[in-house]
Structure 1
Amino acid sequence: MFVPAGVLILTFLIVPVLLTFWLAFTNTRLVSPDPPQFIGLDNFANLFTDDTFWASLRNTIVFTIVIVPLQSGLALVLALLVNRRARGTTFFRTVYFLPVVTSMVVVSMLWLFMYQKDGLINVLLAKVGISGPDWLGDPHWSLIAIIVMSAWQAMGFHMIIWLSGLQTIPAELYEAASLDGASPWQKFANVTWPGLRATRTFILITITIAAFGLFTQINVMTQGGPLNSTTTLVFQAVRSGFQQQQTGYASAISLVFFVLVLVVTIIQTFLTRDKEARR
């Protein structure tokens, strides 16, 4: 019974990872009559002197630093709103979750039209006397536009996770806090937030990993432009490997990306683990 799953894991996970470690030290090209040759650390030497790589790394880190608190915070606010027993909460849960089940390509295409100079967003801004920028054509606004769209698309998923965590907190704790005269903020700070410890750890790690893997939005909306202002590590790896056919160089980028995500995940897990575990 393990064989089908084992074959898939071996074929699409273990073998590609091992190939990446090997190809990163060769000059392999996607289509070439010449056999690959071992070139040692040349790919990494070229990578660390490549301005595009540093721009990609900077954009990836900035995107992650902004999207993690923004997306998780908005999702928590939505979860608190729909967690109340009121008429229409099921409807709003469904509406907030709809972008999650919609294809990212479709969402990116819709926002691509909305971000045009004469698109919906600038038309609405013009009605209140604000001249909207060229969202995807201006290097100062392009990454911000991607961040806003990404946060809107995925916060419904994390809203559901926050909601599941909220519903595990015993109601008796809120009743006891009310009897003690606690304000809504005090209830949140002393009951809700501590009760969401395991949930927020899971959400922070999943959002961070997803943020580092930003690709589809960039591929559909900007192609890394303008002036590499939205290029990310994953997008650069795919472009180098398939468009430029530099498989070895793309593997080096992927290896650096793997190490970066691994280090960040380990640090994040250490900082968010329980106090009892630290002892």
Structure 2
Amino acid sequence: MTLLIRSQAGRTAPPPTQRRRRLSSHSIMGPAMAAPALILLAVFLAIPFLGAIAMSFYRLQLNSTRAPRLIGLEQYSRLFADPDISAAFLHSLGNNFTFAAVVVPVQTGLALGLALLVNGKLRGMAVFRTMFFMPLVFPLALVAVVWRLIFARDDHGLLNSAISLFTGGSIGPHDWLGSSATAMGAIIVMSIWQSVSFQMIILLGGLQAVPHDLYEAASLDRAGRWSQFLHVTVPGIRNTLIFVALLTTVFSFRLFDQVYLLGQSGSVDIESTQTMMYQVITTGYDQNNIGQGAAMAVVFLVIVTIVAVIQRRLVRQEGSIR
């Protein structure tokens, strides 16, 4: 004990200059590690958003000899005062909320079910993991072609053929994409099929991080599978579930590709499937009104941010600071 005290007492503290160097190196490492992500966020998010704000104050048209004309807040006032523009804007926003209200809970629940399934220790489970993840690696254009064949309105459509087979031909073919009653539902089914595997992988990582000792302790307390799921699994992946729900919400409001690609066939009911991103693109490029499209994009981003903040406030992650 005396030797230990002497050895510790004999140690000399590093000089102040060396300590300052260590502190400065540690303070530099954090920003240096975060710099690539911050640069990418600035290039692909902050700068385009600031550019959209600037363009929304101008009357700007592509391939026009006229110089952009500063009109102030006119694009925003037209967005809420013009009956036609306001009606289309609110209708597209309503379609976005309808899509998100269905996709977020259904896709999150389905992803959790698939994650629980592939987390089991059964033979051939790697094959099932590959099959469930495979739709995510397919190009979205290919996915749209496949689902266009499934939802084809004639007798040769795969879904109509299956219904006719099981009903003995008593139910005729239905135009799944062209009918206002089923067009949004068809896009919802396609989107969930194509994207659920991404959420499944995230939730699978959360499930594998839950300590196995908790399940053993629950088994010793004679807790059944359902009780273990409610009191061990769900609390263990609570933060992961919240993250997946937030991510799915943002992706739901970003809906554009599915509507656009399926609409190329000319059989989609655009009025019932038109989303905000679709209206922004068509207004800016098809109607050649860049300023109005930029104003729509700015207002829509503000709405999505408010929705994400409200959702974040309602469901807090464990360990997060209010």
Q: For the superposition of Structure 1 and Structure 2, which TM-score range results when normalised by the shorter chain?
A: over 0.9
1:253 to 281, 296, 308: 296
Aligned: 1:172 with 2:172? no
Between the aligned partners of 1:4 and 1:165, the Cα distance in structure 2 is 26
Which AA in structure 2 matches 1:102? F
Q: Are 1:226 and 2:226 an aligned pair?
A: no
| Count of aligned pairs between the two proteins | 279
Normalised to the residue count of structure 2, the TM-score between the two structures is 0.81
1:198 is displaced (CA, Å) by 1.4
Deviations 1:196-248 (A, max 9, x none): 11111210111111111001100011269525110000011111111111000
Alignment deviations for residues 128-183 of structure 1 (CA, whole Å, 9 cap, x no partner): 11445211000110000000010011111111111100001111111111111112
- RCO (CA 8 Å, sep 6+): is it higher in 1 or 2? 1
Query: Which secondary structure state, in structure 2, belongs to the residue aligned with residue 13 of structure 1?
Result: helix
Corresponding residue of 1:269: 312
Give the superposition deviation at 1:46: 2.2
Superposed, which structure 2 residues align to 1:48-63 within 5 Å?
A: 48=80, 49=83, 50=85, 51-63=87-99
Q: Aligned pair 1:186/2:220, yes or no?
A: no
Paired amino acid for 1:243: D
TM-score, normalising length: structure 1? 0.93
Match of 1:137 among 178, 184, 192: 178
Match of 2:160 among 118, 122, 126: 122
| Alignment match of 1:99 (pick from 125, 135, 148) | 135
Paired with 2:215 and 2:37, the residues of 1 have a C-alpha distance of: 45
**Does structure 1 residue 244 correspond to structure 2 residue 287?**
yes
Mapped partners of 1:235, 1:203: distance in 2: 24
Structure 2 residue 113 is matched with structure 1 residue 77:
yes
Q: Look up the SS of the partner of 2:61 in the other structure.
A: coil
1:214 matched residue in structure 2: 255
- The answer for the alignment partner of 1:40 in structure 2 is 72
Question: Are positions 1:199 and 2:240 aligned together?
Answer: yes
Q: Which runs of 5+ in 1 are unaligned?
A: none
Residue 87 of structure 1: how far off its partner (Å) = 0.7
Aligned to 2:26: none
Amino acid at match of 1:260: I
Change (3 A) 1:128 1:175: same
Shift of 1:26: 1.7
For 1:39, give the aligned amino acid.
Answer: I
Decide whether aligned partners of structure 1 residues 227 and 277 sit closer, same or farther in structure 2, where only a CA change above 3 A counts. closer
Q: 2:122 aligns with which of 46, 65, 86?
A: 86
Q: 1:206 to 1:132 in 2, by over 3 A?
A: farther
- For 1:13, the equivalent position in structure 2 comes to 45
**Larger deviation: 221-230 or 109-118?**
221-230
Would you identify which runs of 4 or more consecutive aligned residues in structure 1 move more than 3 Å? 1-14, 274-279
Range with bigger deviation, 199-208 or 8-17? 8-17
CA-CA distance at 1:274 after TM superposition: 3.2
Q: Which amino acid aligns with 2:52?
A: T
Identical-pair percentage: 41
